[in-house]
Amino acid sequence: MLTAGHPCITISTFEEDDALALVRAVALESGTPLWQWSIITSIVDGLVTDPAPIPDTEHPAAALYHLSLQVKPFMAVMLDLAGHLKDERTLRILRDLVRACERTGAHLILVDHLDTLPPVVRAWSTPFELSLPEPAEIETILRNTLRQVCKTDRVQVELSRQDVASVIQILRGLNARQLRRLILDACADDSKFDASDLPRMLAAKRAMLEGEGLLDYIQTPVSLDEIGGLRRLKDWLTHRQHALTKDALRFGLQPPKGILMLGVQGAGKSLAAKAVATAWRWPLLRMDMGALYDRYIGESERRLRESLHQAERMAPLVLWIDEIEKAMASAANQSVDGGLSRRMFATMLTWMQEHTAPVFMIATANDIEALPPELLRKGRFDEIFFVDLPAKDAREQILAIHIRKRARDPGKFDLPALAVASEGYSGAEIEQAIISALHEAFAAGDELTTDRILLALKNSPPLSVTMAERVQILRQWAAGRCVPAD
């Protein structure tokens, strides 16, 4: 950007030290004078260790005026200037300085934790986003941090080459400050750094990124054996499990981007999302589209972009958007919300088409008629699956799984009879019937039996009965349009 002659570059970040280090490195490499201003320090030489402030440059307007008097090309970093641009005098002289920089070859760099520049400044400036450390840089930070800790404390480091690769994978998506924090925390517990620290580091990373409130980490089953049915979906996942490897790319395969799952409410779409994460051993994050909407203009779009960016930072992962039709239902009608849903929908479609990070998206929906037709176009998703109510053999698997979870032997129950009695029930409804039968058995001082589960099923009619018409319409639409998940 500097070589191309951009007069004003903006860096919106909380990592001010990283931004300043980058600017100083560029200034030193190019031999360009560097000035630095903040409301506390006034203008100082940005390349000197203990610089003396230039008098009468504390006020931002005065600092900008002083810079406008410079004759030779320079670089100047202004810290937290956005909040001062409500002053018309400061805004005016900033605009004049940017145009002067364009003529003289100077560069103004605005580093701020806010992204609230006036439109006229935004039009003349170029945004720059700090990149996160790549694997090689993460390894350097890891080694340097451990070396620094070992100088002051006796920390025992025991890592194989495979362990180092695992640490690097866990630390991907964090900035340099967050990397050092996680490494130091892992060393502080027991004065050791080894493979046993990996689960805690992963949990700390999730807590760190979940603190931003945009994505929720979802616990998944440890094995596909804990998920009944979904035979075709499991086969599809197995065939694509290694599609992100270098061998697959050389073979000519494109990495899978995502699937859309339609289905009867409560039929197991959420469980199917967990099945993807379990099969590939990737973390599962859920995006709550409702939480992204904000009353301030432009804030909802920003929240969506941030959440998608955050998902890319944590890649590889499975990104689950539950009931996507609720968020996109107004995308075809701008009069409802002033076009907000349409803009959100466009942002989502662009990301789905262009993102390159290993983020596999799963969207689930109950109401197909509420989805914009653009979302269903071929190429948006790798496949569209229909999750129907479980068939008889799938119901037997589900019954066995939930009976086993309650520390009982499924072999002691008449699973075929229970599967017949639970026809039309979803997996969640079958589980609730078993729980209800357990309560009854415990209250009676008795043991869980087939008869008690049969009675619980009889006393609790399934949703497919109370909403039979809607279920039938959804099945008719899915026939020939979707791939059955089971």
Q: What is the pLDDT of residues 230-278, one digit of tens each?
A: 888 888 888 887 777 778 778 888 878 888 888 777 677 777 788 888 8
Residue 333 lies in a domain: yes
Is the confidence at residue 342, as pLDDT, over 60? yes
Does residue 158 fall inside a structural domain?
yes
Q: What is the pLDDT of residue 335?
A: 45
Q: How confident is the model at residue 293 (pLDDT cuts 50, 70, 90)?
A: low
Q: The domain spanning residue 401 has which CATH number?
A: 1.10.8.60
Q: What is the pLDDT of residue 32?
A: 93
Alpha-carbon gap, residue 164 to 453, rounded angstroms: 50
In a domain, 429, yes or no: yes
Query: In whole angstroms, what is the distance from residue 145 CA to residue 139 CA?
Result: 10
User: Does position 338 have pLDDT exceeding 60, yes or no?
Assistant: no
pLDDT above 70 covers a percentage of the chain that reads 91
Residue 224 lies in a domain: yes
What percentage of the chain exceeds 90 in pLDDT? Answer: 30
Assign 93 a pLDDT band (cuts: 50, 70, 90).
very high
Say whether both 380 and 420 belong to one domain: no
Model confidence at 333: pLDDT above 60: no
pLDDT tens readout for residues 348-400:
888 888 887 788 888 888 777 677 777 777 677 888 888 888 888 888 988 99
Do residues 80 and 39 touch, judged by C-beta distance below 8 A? yes
Is residue 334 a part of any domain in this protein? yes
Q: What is the mean pLDDT of residues 17-29?
A: 93
Write the pLDDT tens digit of every residue in 435-472: 999 999 999 999 999 999 999 998 888 877 767 777 78
CA distances from 329 to 68, 248, 344, 412, 467 (A): 52, 37, 11, 48, 22
Residue 87 CA to its chain's centroid (Å)? 37
Do 226 and 199 share a structural domain? no
For residue range 57-67, list pLDDT tens digits in order.
999 999 999 99
Compute CA distances 237 → 138, 183, 272, whole Å.
31, 34, 11
CB 94 within 8 A of CB 121: yes
- pLDDT tens digits along 175-219: 888 889 998 888 887 788 888 888 888 778 877 766 555 677 787
* Average per-residue pLDDT for the chain: 84
pLDDT value of residue 327: 62
Domain tally for the chain?
4
Higher pLDDT, residue 398 or 294? 398
Domain assignment of residue 422, yes or no: yes
- Is the confidence at residue 303, as pLDDT, over 50? yes
- CA angle at residue 230 from 253 to 249, to 5 degrees? 10
Please give the average per-residue pLDDT across 292-318, as a whole number.
72
Confidence of residue 334 (pLDDT cuts 50, 70, 90): very low
Say yes or no: 18 and 119 in one domain. Answer: yes
In a domain, 471, yes or no: no
pLDDT value, residue 44: 94
- Does residue 90 sit in the same domain as residue 170? no
**Do the Cβ atoms of 328 and 345 come closer than 8 Å?**
yes
The last residue of one of the domains, among 211, 233, 260, is 211
Same domain for 419 and 379: no
Same domain assignment for residues 100 and 21: yes
Domain boundary among 387, 405, 421: 387
3-state SS record for the chain: CCCCCCCEEEEECCCHHHHHHHHHHHHHHHCCCEEEEECCCEEEECCCCCCCCCCCCCCHHHHHHHHHCCCCCCEEEEECCHHHCCCHHHHHHHHHHHHHHHHHCCEEEEEECCCCCCHHHHHHCEECCCCCCCHHHHHHHHHHHHHHHHHHCCCEEECCHHHHHHHHHHHCCCCHHHHHHHHHHHHHHHCEEEHHHHHHHHHHHHHHHHCCCCEEEECCCCCHHHCCCCHHHHHHHHHCCCCCCHHHHHHCCCCCCEEEEEECCCCCHHHHHHHHHHHHCCCEEEECHHHHCCCCCCHHHHHHHHHHHHHHHCCCEEEEECCHHHHHCCCCCHHHHCCHHHHHHHHHHHHHHHCCCCEEEEEEECCHHHCCHHHHCECCECEEEEECCCCHHHHHHHHHHHHHHCCCCHHHCCHHHHHHHCCCCCHHHHHHHHHHHHHHHHHCCCCCCHHHHHHHHHCCCCHHHHCHHHHHHHHHHHCCCCEECC
Can you give the residue range of the structural domain that contains 422? Answer: 392-466
CATH of the domain at 80: 3.40.50.300
Res. 128: pLDDT tops 60:
yes
248 lies in the same domain as 371? yes
Find the helix packing angle between 176-190 and 198-210, rounded to 10°. 140
